[in-house]
Amino acid sequence: MEKSKAFLLAFLATSYFLYVIGDTSPQVISCSHYQKKSVQKKRVCSIRVSPLCASNNVTYPNFCVYCFINIALDFTLRIQFNGKCLKSTS
């Protein structure tokens, strides 16, 4: 029983660490869905959190929020990596 608890704890800790750090590979996100007039009119995003670090060093909570901002900025943003942006030390 103790081995099962230790394994579960290690698994949960590893999963949390991987979630917090995120996938560091850059992505191309298609925002075409969010350009539709019906979607633009509602501007509703889910509360699902899947952080993205964009080229402006701002962390967006999910693809939806990123796309609405990117559309407003005439598609000037790019995804640097999945996960929270690193704080600048300067």
Q: Which helix (H) or strand (E) holds 82?
A: strand 79-82
Q: Is residue 7 part of a domain?
A: no
CA distance 22 to 63: 14
Q: Is the pLDDT of residue 11 over 90?
A: no
| pTM (2 d.p.) | 0.64
Q: Is residue 57 part of a domain?
A: yes
CB 84 within 8 A of CB 22: yes
In total, how many domains does the chain have? Answer: 1
- pLDDT level of residue 7 (50, 70, 90 thresholds): low
Q: Is residue 31 part of a domain?
A: yes
Domain range for residue 80? 24-90
CATH number, position 75: 3.30.60.30
Q: Is residue 4 part of a domain?
A: no
Q: Which helix (H) or strand (E) holds 13?
A: helix 2-21
Record the tokens describing residue 32, joined without a space: 């075409």
Q: Can you tell me which residue has the tokens 């009119």?
A: 41
